[in-house]
Every structure is written in C-alpha cells, then in structure tokens.
Amino acid sequence: MTSPATDHPEENPDSCWTYVEYHGTSGTQDCVEAVERLIQGARGLRAAKILTRPGNDSSGHALFLTDSRGDEIIIKGGFASGYGGSGPKGLSATLRLLDWHGVELSGIEIASVLMERLNASALTIADLENIREARPVRPHRYWDYVFDQDDRPQFEGNPWQHREPIIPFALLDERFAPHVRGFWDDPDAVLMKGHRALEQAVRLKADMSKEDATDGPAAVYRYAFGGNAPRLSWESVTKSEHAGRMNLFMGVLTAYRHVRAHRDEKANRDALLSELLLLNHLFRLEAEAERAAGA
C-alpha cells in the first residue's frame, strides 16, 4: 500500500505531500514475506534501517527500506528481539537475507508513539524526516539480533535455502505456463502433463505421425534430433552442441519422466520446482528448434 504522509495539508496542499509504501502487518511472517517479495522484485533494495522501539526486556522492530529507484518502503513492526519467539527468529532470518543481497544496514531508535503511527500507516512528513535524518546507533547492534545458529551470511551460504520456493512465472514457456498455475495443488499431474505436452510438441514440429510415435517419447526425440541429418536443429550450433541438447531431452526423459510414470515419487517442494524448471527449459529449446531444410 502506498500512502501519503502529510502535516496539515490544508495549509499548503501543493507542497505538503510525500509518499511511502507500507508492507506487512503486525504479524512476523507477513513482514518476512514482504521483504522477500521486495528483494526478488525488479527494483531490488539498496538500504535498510532497522527501527527499534526499546523496551524493558525486549524490543519491537520495523524496517525503513530504500529501493534502487530511491523509493521508500515501510515494513511494519512485526519483528522483535530479546526472546526466542517467532518475532526474533523472523528478524534474524531477514537481516541475514538483506546482508546477503548487499543491502546497506543501519539502525535507529524511535519513540513508541512513532511506531504506533507507523503500524497504522499514518506517518507524517515530520515522522519521515526524523527517520531519514536520525543518526545511526553506534556501535552497530543489528548483528546482536541474528541468532548464533544463523551466523553471518557470508559464512552460512545461501539464506534462501529452506524457504518456500517460488515459481518464476515470467520464465515459463507460454504453452506450459497455464498448466503451472495450480502446480502446488498436484505437482505430479502438472509434471506428467508437461512431459506429454513436450513430446507432442516435438512430434508435431518434426512432422512425425502418431503411428510412428507408438514406441514412446524416446523414439520421438531420436527421430526429431538424432541421426546424421536431424529433422530439428538450432541455428548456429555445432554438432557437439546439438548432441548435448538432444542428450538433455533424453536425460530428462529417463531420469524424470519414466520414473514419474512408473513410481509414486514423494519429492520435496525444492526438487519438484527444480524438475519443473528443467522441463520448462526443454520447452524453450523446442520452441527455438527449426525444421531442417528438406526434412
């Protein structure tokens, strides 16, 4: 949500507006997912201020983000520190993620009343100026909010691992994409339908009859891409590159399609999405393949 901040706009309506986006709620998971969406978006994130409302035994936190265009974004106060619950765990994981993506981190303290207005999507121009101009807390305290088991990201590898995998719909072949909309409802059905659709697309482009394709998809791929004069190929590829691409089709067939057709696979979500993207890559290769002259 994008909301205007204003201090008495009726006094000077032309100069008293500034805009800031609000994301998340008072719930930690909503705030974590909001940061994940922003990081993966086209704008990316450049800087993040951790806004802290100090307490006696624990603290509440929000985030003031700046994206690559200079737009300002508020992540509401669903984060916390000072105990072992979901709020501190979400803050710890989010800081690791921001740091891993090279987002500049800093921290400031804000008053409780300002945090209340922030959570109500009601910051004023003066509030925003106070946040922008506040001197960062020194020494930095934000790594105190990262749990020991998380450690610093540069020592821990990819912080996206073990998070919910997201389907990159923008990369999907237009013929395959409609089937993928309900992927998580029945991944096995979508993948099998995709494998069969790929075989059908290759068969039709290679002008192979249904009768000639009765020996299965392996015969289709050999007919289309095999031999000294393949019916389908790609512009400006060498013989070895062509062979490698054909082997991709055959390898996915034997390693995934045949297994899925004859065995009830209980793969985890990461493995299922990996297979989906591999299958999609074959759709893209098929789309780029051209009929050979005279074939």
Tens digit of each residue's pLDDT (9 = 90 or more) over 9-65: 444 444 455 689 999 987 899 999 999 999 988 888 999 999 998 775 667 899 999
Kindly state the average pLDDT of the residues 172-196.
93
Question: At residue 238, what is the residue type?
Answer: T
pLDDT band at 188 (very low <50, low <70, confident <90, very high): very high
Asked if the structure places residue 163 within a domain, the reply is: no
Total structural domains within the chain = 2
- Are 233 and 283 found together in one domain? yes
**Beta-carbon contacts of residue 238 (< 8 Å; ≥ 6 apart):** none
Asked if the structure places residue 124 within a domain, the reply is: yes
pLDDT digits (tens, 9 = 90+) for 197-218: 999 999 999 999 988 888 889 9
Asked if the structure places residue 80 within a domain, the reply is: yes
Pairing of strands 104-109, 45-53: parallel
- Are 150 and 37 found together in one domain? yes
- Are 192 and 272 found together in one domain? yes
- From 156, 188, 223, the end of a domain falls on 156
- Are 72 and 107 found together in one domain? yes
DSSP 206: T
Instruction: Give the three-state DSSP class for 229.
Output: coil
Q: Which of 37, 129, 114, 40 is nearest to 76 (CA)?
A: 114
Strands (E), the chain: 2-6, 17-23, 45-53, 59-67, 72-81, 104-109, 232-233, 290-291
d(CA 66, CA 123): 16
pLDDT digits (tens, 9 = 90+) for 253-278: 999 998 887 776 667 888 999 999 99
Asked if the structure places residue 137 within a domain, the reply is: yes
Query: What pLDDT is recorded for position 95?
Result: 93
- Are 196 and 83 found together in one domain? no
- Are 36 and 125 found together in one domain? yes
- From 106, 129, 156, the end of a domain falls on 156
- From 156, 191, 215, the end of a domain falls on 156
- Are 201 and 279 found together in one domain? yes
- Are 130 and 19 found together in one domain? yes
- Are 137 and 8 found together in one domain? yes
| Domain span holding position 45 | 2-156
- Are 146 and 29 found together in one domain? yes
DSSP 80: E
Question: At residue 81, what is the residue type?
Answer: S
Asked if the structure places residue 195 within a domain, the reply is: yes
Question: Per this entry, what is the length of the chain?
Answer: 295
The mean-pLDDT minimum among 25-29, 40-44, 160-164, 281-285 falls in 160-164
CATH of the domain at 66: 3.40.1530.10
Among 48-62, 131-145, 170-184, the range with the most confident prediction by mean pLDDT is 170-184
Asked if the structure places residue 161 within a domain, the reply is: no
- Are 125 and 174 found together in one domain? no
Pairing of strands 59-67, 104-109: unpaired
Asked if the structure places residue 185 within a domain, the reply is: yes
- Are 8 and 146 found together in one domain? yes
Cβ atoms of 43 and 21 closer than 8 Å: no
Average pLDDT, the chain: 87
Asked if the structure places residue 204 within a domain, the reply is: yes
Q: Is the pLDDT of residue 230 over 70?
A: yes
pTM (2 d.p.): 0.75
